[in-house]
Structures are given as C-alpha cells and as structure tokens.
Amino acid sequence: MAGTNVLVVGGGNAGISLAARLLRDGFTEVTVVAPQPVHRYKPLLNYVAAGEASMAELERPMAEVVPDGCTWIRDAVEAVDPDARTVRTRGGRTLRWSTLVLCPGLVEDWDATPGLQQAYAEGWAASSYVPGSTPLVWPAIRSVRSGSAVFTVPPEPASCGPTALKPLLMACDHWQRAGVLGDVRVSLVLPEATATRIPEADRYLEEVLAGYGVEVLREARIERVDGDLRSITVGSPGGRRVLEDITFAHAVPHYRAPRWIADSGLAADEAPGLVDVDPETMQHRRHDQVWGLGDAADLATRPSGGALRKQVHALSTNIAAAEKGRSMQRYNGYTVMPITVSRRKLMLDEVDRDNRAQPSVPFLDPFVPRRWQWLFDRYGLPQVYWRRILRGRV
C-alpha cells in the first residue's frame, strides 16, 4: 500500500513476522524500531533449560532476520504522541508514522519479587525466561541429587506462562531416570488453581505431577526471596508458606508491559499496562491508526508465538481494510501452550479465547501428548519459524 508509512515498534516474533507479512501484502514503507542486536526463538529456551538445545541454535543476528525492503532503526521507543503521530526514541530521534503497531513484548518486573534478582546473581535461581541465566539451568538440575527444588509458573501477563512447566517435568523425568527423584523435594508454585485452565489438559497434568510426587501450591505467588536463608515466601488465599533450604529454584520473574505505553495514554491501566486494543481486531480502542499485537497487547488470551501466526495475518489484513473502509478480520484468541510431559512427549494445548479446542491438524485432539509432537516442537518448528513465520509466509 503505497503512501502508508507503517512503524512497527519491536523486533521480536511479532514485529519481524508482521513486517514481512505487510511487505508481502503490498505495503512499501515499513520500518521496525528495535534495540537488540540479536533475535531469539524463545520456545527453544525451555529446551536449553532441559539440556536438549544450545543457545546458539535459538539466536540469529537481527540484521539477518529483518526482511528485505524493511528499514531497521536500532533504537528503543520511549514515548508515543498518538495525536501528533510521532514516537520519540531513547537515541533522541522523533519518528513520524501514519500507522503505528506496538509489539515491544513484556518486561521483567523484578520489583514485584524482592530478593529474586539477587538469587539469580547468587546463582541458586535461574530460568528459561531470563536468557542470561538459561544455560545455568540444566547443569543446576543435573547437580541436584537431593534437597529441595522449587519451580514456578509466572502469573499473567506472561509469555506463554504454562510452558514454564516444561523445565519442571523434564527435570523430574531426569531425576527419575537417575534414581534420585525420591530424594528431591519438588514444589511447584502455580498462580491459578490449575496449570492451564483447560480441563482436558489439567486432568492429564495433575496425574503426571502426582506421579512425580510434586507438591503443588495453588493460587500462589512468590512474595519474597531470601538469599541468606535460601528461602522463598509464597502467598496464597490459604496464607503464607516459607519454602526453606532450597537447593535450586527455577523461579520465573513477574512481568508487565513497558511503562511508556501507559505513560503515552495507550494502556487501559497503569499495571500491567498492556496496549488497550479491541482483542478481535487488534485496533487501539481510542486511536484508529494505532494497533497492538503479541505479548504486550491486551488480547484477552494467553500470549504465545503460536498465537502470533493468526494475529499477524489478521492484523496485516485489518490495517489495509481500515484504510479502504472494508470489514475487518476477527481474531478468535487462538493460542497454544506446548507442554513436555516427559522426556519425549508433548501436548499442544491449542485453544481459542474460551478454551475450546482449536487443533491446527483437523480432528487431532490437541490435549493428547504424542512423541511426534515433541519432535516437531523441538526440531520442526524452529525451522518453520526461521524459514516461514519470520518471512511472513504463515
């Protein structure tokens, strides 16, 4: 679409695949603003944490993934003026746009959990969610042969939160094979009553967790971490509990949207401060030329890379439709929560906004763990990601 200047804020899964898709759909002026020199395929982080992949497999230089024909500005946006149709960047630039797409992802909210960042620095906490610490997870799990291990699923908003169960279940599988599972006290801190809110998936997961002897703390959050005592204080409606003498904690920080979104008047609330869009069209509720997608947008579904496959297609169509006064496509909240239930089996958990099954392969029950699904998630999807998803071909 000649004449439409689309500015995309964020160069993650959302920003790069949308930019590529827009160019395929005939947009000619597409710019991505993103600060980081490296692009990561984040789902593989969980496999690094389980000793099944290396960091090198999931990282590519940004310059390699920015699509041909797209301008990349290596900078970070720090304010948006939706009326003047400009953004201001940390590097002092003022950039003009006729259409703005916000997809800067989520940021760690370390302040929400005092002591957790220190535990990462001390090395007894690490997780797949904090890439600098991810390579430490598997060696830590292998070194645990007794004592206490704590795993957490982050509360919403979080990036595909239930997949934080992958490192837990793969660690339990490892300890069982090593014959030490009975000597390791394993606790799981769940932010909700169940792991996924999907009854079919939860039924299976409960059985697996019970089989490994995992103690589950429900509707619970980490409130404080104490390095001297190696303890984690967990709060839940039932009261407080202090987990003590922890050998290793796969404790995921809490998340929120970057603050400049709310400060620019583009969020519905101060916290978590997600971009305030119509969850079906992804158009901002008050500014027609502003759109949001990915982890930072309030799409009333659990964010995931799989969800982006549908979001990117609908959003590119809707930007063109809005210009031409045509009706828009509606995104049904499709998302996916691939969970490895043992070393080589994975359930896909593909659902819509109302937790109804939405299998990508027709008639395939997405709540049944299968070996080929594990192989596809580990080896097939990364190839599809680099070759097709990031190139706007899905």
Ligand X SMILES: Cc1cc2nc3c(=O)[nH]c(=O)nc-3n(C[C@H](O)[C@H](O)[C@H](O)COP(=O)(O)OP(=O)(O)OC[C@H]3O[C@@H](n4cnc5c(N)ncnc54)[C@H](O)[C@@H]3O)c2cc1C
Query: Where on the chain is the footprint of ligand X (CB under 6 A)?
Result: 9-15, 33-36, 42-43, 45-46, 76-77, 103-105, 128-129, 159-160, 163, 258, 294-296, 303-306, 336, 338
Question: Which is closer to ligand X, CB of 2 or CB of 84?
Answer: 84
**What sign results for the dihedral spanned by CA atoms 39, 44, 48, 52?**
negative
Describe the chain by its helix, strand, coil percentages, rounded to 5.
Answer: 30, 25, 40
CB of residue 374 vs ligand X: minimum separation in angstroms? 11
Q: What single string gives the DSSP state of each residue in 72-115?
A: EE---EEEEETTTTEEEETTS-EEE-SEEEE----EE-GGGSTT
CB of residue 238 vs ligand X: minimum separation in angstroms? 29
Question: Which is closer to ligand X, CB of 15 or CB of 115?
Answer: 15
Alpha carbons within 13 angstroms on the beta-carbon side of residue 70 total 34
Helix (H) or strand (E) holding 317: helix 305-324
**Residue that the structure tokens 């060696």 belong to:** 139
Rounded CA-CA distance 234/232 in Å is 6
Question: Which is closer to ligand X, CB of 14 or CB of 50?
Answer: 14
The residues pairing with 345 across neighbouring beta strands, listed in sequence order, are 342
Rounded CA-CA distance 95/285 in Å is 22
CB of residue 235 vs ligand X: minimum separation in angstroms? 24
Residue 109 neighbours by CB under 8 Å, 6+ apart: 253, 254, 255, 256
The verdict on whether omega for the bond into residue 157 sits within 30 degrees of 0, i.e. cis, is yes
The verdict on whether omega for the bond into residue 272 sits within 30 degrees of 0, i.e. cis, is yes
Write the DSSP symbol of residue 287. Answer: -
Q: What are phi and psi of 239, to 5 degrees?
A: 125, -165
CB of residue 183 vs ligand X: minimum separation in angstroms? 28
CB of residue 299 vs ligand X: minimum separation in angstroms? 10
CB of residue 33 vs ligand X: minimum separation in angstroms? 5
CB of residue 172 vs ligand X: minimum separation in angstroms? 18
Of all residues in the shown chain, the one whose CB is closest to ligand X is 12
CB of residue 208 vs ligand X: minimum separation in angstroms? 17
Q: What are phi and psi of 235, to 5 degrees?
A: -105, 140
Rounded CA-CA distance 89/284 in Å is 21
Question: Which is closer to ligand X, CB of 185 or CB of 343?
Answer: 343
Question: Which is closer to ligand X, CB of 107 or CB of 181?
Answer: 107
Question: Which is closer to ligand X, CB of 180 or CB of 361?
Answer: 361
Question: Which is closer to ligand X, CB of 202 or CB of 295?
Answer: 295
Question: Which is closer to ligand X, CB of 35 or CB of 227?
Answer: 35
- The answer to whether 24 and 392 are in contact (CB under 8 A) is yes
Rounded CA-CA distance 263/79 in Å is 8
Question: Which is closer to ligand X, CB of 233 or CB of 306?
Answer: 306
CB of residue 237 vs ligand X: minimum separation in angstroms? 27
Structure tokens at 353: 């906004």
Rounded CA-CA distance 369/337 in Å is 12
CB of residue 34 vs ligand X: minimum separation in angstroms? 4
Question: Which is closer to ligand X, CB of 11 or CB of 82?
Answer: 11
Q: What are phi and psi of 353, to 5 degrees?
A: -60, -30
